[in-house]
Amino acid sequence: MFLNKLRNLMIAALCCCVVFTTVGPVALAQKKTAPVEETPPPLNEQFKFGEVDLEVLEQSDLLDLRFKRDGLVLADKAANDYLSGIGRSLIPKGLAIEKVSWRFRMLRDPQPNAFALPNGSIYVTTGLMTLIDNESQLAAIIAHELTHVMRRHTYLQNRSNRKKFLTMNIMSAVGSYAPLSMVGAVITIVTTVAPLIMFATMFGYSRDLEREADLKGIDLMVSAEYPPEELIQVMKLLDKDIEGENVRLFYNDHPSLDERIKYLSSYLGARAGRVTTQMELHRERKAYFQNVLPVMRHDIQLSINAGRFRSAVYLAQRLVDFRPDSENLFWLAEAYRTLGPRAPQLSDRELTNSAKKDASKKRQKRTIEEEERDLLATAAGKENWQQHQQKAEELYLRALNAENPLPASHRGLAMLYEKLGRANDAVVEYQKYIDLSPSSTDRERILRRIEGLRRN
Amino acid sequence: MDLTQLLPVLKLRPLIFALTTLLLTTVASQSIQAQFLHPKLQSKETTIRNVVVLPAKVNVVRDSMKGPEGMAAESEELSARVEKVISEVLLKQKQVTTLPAPQVTTTASDAQKQYGVADFQTKFDELLPKIMKKRSDVKKARFSMGDEVLELNLEKHADAIIFIRGEGKKLTGGKTAFTLLVGGVPAYLRLQIGIVDARNGDVLLYTDPILAGDPTTAVERLRKTLEKGFKKLPAVRAK
């Protein structure tokens, strides 16, 4: 009897030890604010490849191939060369890293994002390329991602996660065979709660690595003579929640914006004195837009395809502000036509966390057509649609009257008229489009539409 | 609360485990039968004779005691195998012919064609969660990918396009033993297959067969699972 009690107590004590030794140091590490001056060197020279790391490397190489094969990589040579040029200018001269081959690519995805694979592949989405204002901001993003590769963050995180998963599994095994007693109940509770804490520490570790990438990224920017304060600007841009989809979770793998701005400002310290003048930034913005204009237009199409209509309007408006030519006017018209009865901007109430969660649930349930039908049943939805169809029509007509008009403007106008029930006008515009673009990929689709409209 | 009150619940653990297993088995076997047909297909107003199978996206992971690990190469292999077996099953059981999918190379001139297929695959990925929320609404003709489907410019006599998604996991020896002792999700493969009208984009059939066991080695079981998965699809000569 005494031995049994002793055994149970020992199991309980063992459980507590495992939890506190594994969770404790990491959990505490999250709270401490390391002095920003003590950042490690850009390269993790102590890192030695193990079998597990080589597996991760192999998976990364295969992922590269898959992105390309699946048509997710943007095949725009000029834009990719531009991206690559910026990326290479940030890599310290003469730096060679074992099993890293630098590649910079654009991913066809309207969601603003960037990530690095440990093999040296850096991906920036078209959504992010379109959202940012200038080359320095792009450099800030790449510098952050380069640090993840140089400091071997993916490998380190993978190693850390594996240890935590193993601990979690051992805990559940212990928990499932806990003795049926008061001590057993304690063990069960401890082993049930421990995996949740363990998950939290995974995110905590990830946040530490993100912080390191932010700080080392600044060093890389300064070395390449990019104004480092643009990293803060790009973070503010990323915080712009046009679609109301940034739902705050209890744990996040990136530090909060306020926290990032705080430690970055502190790290920049005296160096923040080199503030780029507005005129210089304006010039840089113009050059950046010029370089990535085709990418931006491509991204507006992707945004519309993905139902990110508010982003499409926002981004297309930026293009028209930059240069109101026929093609840019066409894209803004497309954005307004597809925005339909939605409001162009979300209200403050719609941007609250609970409203965003509700909207996310609705997005999972309703199709785009159902969403539009529901909105059109409301007075606000009808008013929005009235305004947007007028704007779209006006913009299509402006695009057609501008220099080098785009034939696709006729198609857009036809689609608008079709939706408004103006069948004859729609047929005329569709026909003009077909006549001007006889070999377009959507010829069959348009011919069927003409046929359908004539039949009705 | 006195923790000893929990003891009776703990004593019921083997019974709860047995009941959960029974419930999971029942649900899984029901899912295998779950196929949802568009009314036009049900009423035989539309007959599928020729299909185009778009590249499958099946992902499997190796679940070990140290967490999940990617299996990119095996996933590619499995994706190709699922495509092949689906074509064979449709031909043998339903006399449906598979036409060649749009040929996409990685040359710059073919980029637009490649984007077209990729964007359509993405569009299906966006529709899929909505279908899964209420699969039975396929029977109400609620889901469509629109006439943009015509922009894929498939062969003239293609009646439908097949989209295949899947996820599964394979367990390592250690994890298998752990699952047996402690419990957990065993090795499986869950497929989500949508058949879409090649002329107007309507979702004609949705099925999500589940295969229990190691997905990377179960070739014959995969065939049988798919045969069951397409059981309700009308055969061509039934017209």
Q: Read off the pLDDT band of B57 (50, 70, 90).
A: very high
More confident call, A99 vs A46: A99
Q: Which of A180, A365, A444 sits opposite B150 (nearest CB)?
A: A444
**Average confidence score pLDDT of chain B:** 86
Beta-carbon separation of B73 and A62 below 8 A: yes
Per-residue pLDDT for A41 more than 90? no
Whether A444 and chain B come into contact, CB under 8 Å, resolves to yes
List chain A domain ranges. 2-273, 278-455
Chain B residue with Cα closest to A442: B151
pLDDT of residue A19 exceeding 60, the answer is no
Residues of chain B found within 8 Å of residue A108, distances taken between Cβ atoms: 115, 118
A54 shares contact with chain B (CB less than 8 Å):
no
Determine the average pLDDT of the residues in A90-98. 90
- Residue A69: count other Cβ atoms within 10 Å of its Cβ: 15
Please give the residue of chain A at the shortest CA–CA distance from B65. A166
| pLDDT score, position A23 | 47
Residues 303-322 of A with CB under 8 A from B: 305-307
**Which residues between 251 and 270 in chain A have a beta carbon less than 8 angstroms from any beta carbon of chain B?**
none
Q: How confident is the model at residue A186 (pLDDT cuts 50, 70, 90)?
A: confident
% of chain B surpassing 90 pLDDT: 61
Contact B167, B82 (CB under 8 A): no
Tell if the CB–CB gap between A69 and B106 is shorter than 8 Å. Answer: yes
More confident residue, A25 or B218: B218
Q: Do B150 and A181 touch (CB under 8 A)?
A: no
Q: A278-455 in CATH: which number? A: 1.25.40.10
The pLDDT of residue A199: 65
Q: ipTM greater than 0.85, yes or no?
A: no
Going by pLDDT thresholds of 50, 70 and 90, the confidence category of residue B111 is confident
User: Rounded CA gap, A407 and A411, in Å?
Assistant: 7
CA atoms within 13 A on the CB side of A188: 18
Q: What is the pTM of this model?
A: 0.85
CB contact under 8 A, A66 and B4: no
Among the ranges given (A69-73, B101-105, B159-163, B192-196), the one the predictor scored with the smallest mean pLDDT: B101-105
pLDDT digits (tens, 9 = 90+) for A259-306: 888 888 888 876 655 556 777 777 788 999 999 999 999 999 999 999
Which residues face B170 on adjacent strands? B62
Q: Which of B89, B223, B79 lies closest to B163, judged by CA?
A: B79
Average per-residue pLDDT in chain A? 86
Beta-bridge partner residues of B61:
B70, B169
Is A388 a residue whose pLDDT tops 90? yes
Q: In a 3-state reduction of DSSP, which class is residue A346?
A: coil
Long-range CB contact pairs, A44-52, < 8 A, 24+: A44/A150, A44/A151, A44/A152, A44/A156, A47/A152, A47/A155, A47/A156, A49/A98, A49/A99, A50/A159, A52/A158, A52/A159, A52/A162
**Statement: residue A89 has pLDDT above 80:** yes
Q: How many CA atoms lie within 13 A of A372 on its CB side?
A: 12
- Answer whether A306 sits within 8 Å of B116, measured CB to CB: no
Chain A: nearest CA to B86, how far in angstroms? 20
Residue of A nearest to B143 (CA): A367
Say yes or no to pLDDT of A131 above 60.
yes
Do B114 and B106 form a contact (C-beta atoms < 8 A)?
yes
pLDDT grade, residue A82 (50/70/90)? very high
Q: Are the beta carbons of B10 and A188 separated by less than 8 Å?
A: yes
> What backbone torsions phi and psi does residue B53 show, to the nearest 5 degrees?
-95, 115
What one-letter code names the amino acid at A232? I
Closest CB to A59 among B65, B70, B129? B70
A278 touches chain B (CB under 8 A): no
pLDDT at B158: 95
Q: Would you state the pLDDT for residue A208? A: 86
Residues of chain A with C-beta less than 8 angstroms from the C-beta of B133:
364-365
Nearest to A162 among B57, B67, B153 (CB): B67
Cβ-based contacts of B151 with chain A (< 8 Å): 441-442, 444-445
Provide the residue ranges of all domains of chain B, joining segments of one domain with +.
Answer: 7-238
Q: Which of A178-192, A254-268, B14-28, B213-227 has the highest mean pLDDT?
A: B213-227
